[in-house]
Amino acid sequence: MAFVPDASVAAAWLLPDEEAELAERALDCLANEEAKVPVLFWDELRNLLLAAERRGRIGAHHADASLARLRRLPIRCPGDADDHLIMALARAHGLSAYDAGYLALAIREGCALASLDRRLIAAAAAQGVPPLG
């Protein structure tokens, strides 16, 4: 079954000093399943890597190589976002538009959600979206 990973999960894939069991499980799932992400996922990851680079956590080569590896994984952007649903979810659950975008995609695609963000996990549960695993 396809799933929606958010940037918090992908960060644990890319940054050597971050680990999370859920992130490892999600990465293992990519061997047999496709991940679906909103377009903003890639901007969030590029920004996360640049911030880590600027703080000295990683080098430029690591950042560039991480993005290249991530692009080889079965991660797809399935199309336009539903502005109305994203705004409604953000308002109902006190989410950022970014986080609501991940939740809206999981709802629209009938996917599980993989996130390390407690507020997003709680909102997903309230909406009947199952967590990964």
Q: What's the rounded mean pLDDT across residues 53-62? A: 96
| Predicted local confidence at residue 113, as pLDDT | 97
For 88, other C-beta atoms within 10 Å of its C-beta total 13
DSSP state of 58: S
4, 112 Cβ separation under 8 angstroms = yes
Characterize the bridge pairing of strands 112-114 and 35-36: unpaired
pLDDT tens digits along 14-35: 998 887 899 999 999 999 999 9
| Predicted local confidence at residue 126, as pLDDT | 98
For the chain, give the percent of residues with pLDDT over 70.
100
| Predicted local confidence at residue 80, as pLDDT | 84
Name residue 4's beta-bridge partners. Answer: 113
Across the chain, mean pLDDT equals 95
Q: Please, is 55 exposed, middle or buried when counting C-beta atoms within 10 Å of its C-beta (0-12, 13-18, 19+)?
A: exposed
| Predicted local confidence at residue 133, as pLDDT | 76
16, 126 Cβ separation under 8 angstroms = no
CA nearest to 11, candidates 59, 94, 70: 70
Q: Which domains does the chain have, with CATH numbers?
A: 3-126 (3.40.50.1010)
94 Rama class: left (phi>0) / alpha (psi -120 to 50) / beta: left
